[in-house]
Structure 1
């Protein structure tokens, strides 16, 4: 993975911009299809894995059904 930090510029109360360092994160979309003709199963699951250089931060279930 790339450099683990990212530079951001945000506006300050004085009206100018200040530099802030933030942690770089990556989003991995994982789609799992489960199919069984015998049992009549056809499921699709969608997860977002959020990770950084140190490892997995969280896993979000994006399945709508």
Structure 2
């Protein structure tokens, strides 16, 4: 039973690390995480930084 708890903790740490990579991926692709919508007139959404937060680029 202890091994199950260990694997569950490792799984949670891995999932937490994956969720933080979306902002890094957005910036590496030349984008910026916006708080609400992409500011007009020259930016457009092309992905998500987090749930409901668009990644915008020109």
* TM-score, normalised relative to structure 1: 0.23
Q: Which has the higher strand share?
A: 1
Q: Report which of the two structures shows the higher radius of gyration computed on alpha carbons.
A: 1
> Which gives a bigger RCO, structure 1 or 2 (Cα 8 Å, sep 6+)?
2
The two structures have a TM-score, normalised by structure 2, of 0.25
